[in-house]
C-alpha cells in the first residue's frame, strides 16, 4: 500500500508539472505577443484547461498529508516562504486571467499580474525541487533548518531552469494549438528555449559535482540509470527535428517526454527515499489502516475520476483555436 500511494503521488506531481507547466509557460511568454489579438489567442489556447490543471497540485498536497504525514510535516516548514509565494502567485494569476476579459483601460495591470504570477510560481517550484536535491537539514523526522534554509545557489539555478523548461512547454503548446503569427511565435521561441534548458542542465550538473551530492554516487554505482538521460537526449534530438519540419503536435509531445524522463531520473536516483537521503517511503508512510481507508475513497474515486475528467476535457477541446474562439 505504501508503494501504491507513493506511485499515485508521483503520478499526480508529474501530471501537474506537464499540464500546468505549459499554461504557466504561456504566461511567461505573454510579453512576446505583438498585439491584443495574439494575446487573446494565447489565452484561448489554455482557457478550457488551465484551472483543471491545477487540480493535480491540490491532489498532491492532500495525498501527501494523508498518506505520508511525516514528509508533509518536514516539507511544509522547510518551504513556508516559497510555498506562500507560489500560492499567492497562482491566485494573482487566476484573478488576472478572469479580470483581463472584463476591462479595457486597466487590462495592462492584469496582464502584468498574469505574467508575474506565472514567473513567481514557476521559480518557487524549481527552487523547492533544487533545495530537496541539494539536501535539507533534517534531524530524525524533524526539519532542523530555518525559513531560509531552502535558499542557495543550486536552488536558484533550478528555479531559473524550470522557468526555461515551462516556457519551452508553453512555446510548443502554442505551436500545437494555434495558427498564424502565434504559431510562428511558438516555433521561433522553442529552439532558443531548448538551448537555454540545455545550458541550465550543464550548469546544474557541474554544481551537483561540487555539492558532492549522494545522487552522483548512485549514478556511479548504478550505470543502468544512464538509460534516462540517453532517452532524454533522443527526445531532444527528435524535438529539434519536429521543430524544423513544423510538425505541430509533436514538439510538445517530445518536450513532455523530456520532462517525464527528467522526473524518472530523479525518482530512481532517490529510491527508496521520499526525502533524499533521510526519510524512506516505509518510514514516512501513515499506518496501514489509514492507507487502506484512504484507498477506498481517494484511490478508487478521486484519482480515477480526476484522470477521466482531465482526459475528457482535453479530448473535447482538441484541435486549433483562434482569437475569436472566446473564453466566456
Kindly tell me if the per-residue pLDDT of 323 is higher than 80.
Answer: no
Instruction: Check whether 136 has a pLDDT greater than 70.
Output: yes
The grid cell for 316 is 473535447
At 13 the pLDDT is 94
Average pLDDT, the chain: 89
Q: How far is CA 237 from the centre of its chain?
A: 22
Residue 178: CATH number of its domain: 1.20.1630
Q: Is residue 321 part of a domain?
A: no
Kindly tell me the burial class for residue 177, based on how many C-beta atoms sit within 10 Å of its own C-beta (0-12, 13-18, 19 or more). buried
Using CA atoms, how far apart are residues 286 and 161, in angstroms rounded to an integer? 34
Q: Would you say residue 322 lies in a domain?
A: no
Range of the domain at 116: 2-316
Q: Average pLDDT, stretch 271-283?
A: 86
pLDDT at 217 over 70: no
Residue 259: what pLDDT?
A: 94
- Give the pLDDT confidence score for residue 213 in this predicted structure: 63
Q: Which position has the higher pLDDT, 283 or 116?
A: 116
DSSP symbol at 17: H
Closest listed residue to residue 195, CA positions, set 232, 234, 240, 238: 240
Would you call 317 helix, strand, or coil by DSSP? coil
Separation CA 93–CA 116 (nearest Å): 8
Kindly report, residue by residue over 31-44, the tens digit of the pLDDT: 999 988 999 999 99
CA distance 264 to 285: 21
110 in a structural domain: yes
Q: And the C-alpha cell for 327?
A: 473564453
Question: What band does 168 get if pLDDT is binned at 50, 70 and 90?
Answer: very high
DSSP reduced 3-state for 275: strand
Strands 279-280 and 138-139: unpaired
| Predicted confidence (pLDDT) at residue 249 exceeds the cutoff of 60 | yes
pLDDT of residue 300: 80
Question: What is the distance in angstroms between the CA of the first residue and the CA of the last residue of the chain?
Answer: 43
Confidence of residue 325 (pLDDT cuts 50, 70, 90): low
Query: pLDDT at position 104, please?
Result: 80
Looking at the chain, the whole-number percentage of residues with pLDDT higher than 70 is 95
CB atoms within 10 A of CB 318: 9
Please give the tally of structural domains in the chain.
Answer: 1
Looking at per-residue confidence, does 214 or 306 come out higher?
306
Q: Which has the closest alpha carbon to 131: 146, 153, 161? A: 153
327 assigned to some structural domain: no
Is residue 200 situated within a structural domain? Answer: yes
Q: Per-residue pLDDT for 85 more than 80?
A: yes
Question: Considering the domain boundaries, does residue 325 fall inside one?
Answer: no
Judged against a pLDDT cut of 60, whether residue 328 lies above it is answered with: no
pTM of the model: 0.93
Amino acid at each position: 500500500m505504501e508503494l501504491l500511494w507513493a506511485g499515485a503521488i508521483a503520478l499526480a506531481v508529474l501530471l501537474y508539472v506537464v499540464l500546468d507547466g505549459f499554461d504557466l509557460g504561456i504566461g511567461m511568454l505573454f510579453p512576446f505577443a505583438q498585439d491584443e489579438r495574439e494575446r487573446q489567442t494565447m489565452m484561448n489556447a489554455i482557457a478550457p484547461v488551465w484551472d483543471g490543471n491545477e487540480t493535480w497540485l491540490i491532489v498532491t498536497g492532500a495525498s501527501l498529508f494523508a498518506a505520508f504525514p511525516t514528509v508533509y510535516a518536514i516539507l511544509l516548514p522547510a518551504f513556508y516562504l516559497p510555498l506562500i509565494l507560489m500560492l499567492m502567485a497562482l491566485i494573482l494569476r487566476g484573478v488576472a486571467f478572469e479580470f483581463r476579459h472584463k476591462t479595457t483601460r486597466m487590462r495592462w495591470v492584469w496582464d502584468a499580474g498574469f505574467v508575474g504570477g506565472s514567473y513567481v510560481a514557476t521559480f518557487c517550484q524549481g527552487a523547492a525541487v533544487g533545495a530537496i536535491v541539494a539536501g535539507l537539514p533534517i534531524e530524525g523526522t524533524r526539519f532542523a533548518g530555518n525559513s531560509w534554509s531552502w535558499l542557495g545557489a543550486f536552488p536558484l539555478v533550478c528555479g531559473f531552469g524550470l522557468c526555461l523548461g515551462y516556457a519551452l512547454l508553453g512555446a510548443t503548446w502554442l505551436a500545437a494549438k494555434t495558427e498564424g503569427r502565434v504559431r510562428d511565435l511558438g516555433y521561433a521561441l522553442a529552439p532558443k528555449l531548448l538551448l537555454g534548458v540545455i545550458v541550465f542542465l550543464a550548469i546544474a550538473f557541474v554544481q551537483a559535482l561540487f555539492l558532492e551530492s549522494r545522487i552522483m554516487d548512485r549514478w556511479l554505482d548504478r550505470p543502468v540509470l544512464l538509460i534516462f538521460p540517453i532517452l532524454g537526449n533522443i527526445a531532444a534530438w527528435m524535438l529539434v527535428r519536429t521543430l524544423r519540419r513544423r510538425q505541430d503536435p509533436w514538439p510538445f509531445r517530445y518536450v513532455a517526454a523530456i520532462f517525464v524522463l527528467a522526473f524518472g531520473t530523479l525518482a530512481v536516483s532517490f529510491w527508496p527515499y521520499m526525502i533524499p537521503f533521510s526519510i524512506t517511503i516505509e518510514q514516512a508512510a501513515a499506518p496501514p489502516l489509514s492507507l487502506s481507508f484512504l484507498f477506498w475513497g481517494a484511490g478508487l474515486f478521486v484519482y480515477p475520476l480526476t484522470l477521466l475528467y482531465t482526459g475528457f476535457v482535453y479530448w473535447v477541446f482538441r484541435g486549433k483555436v483562434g482569437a475569436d474562439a472566446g473564453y466566456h
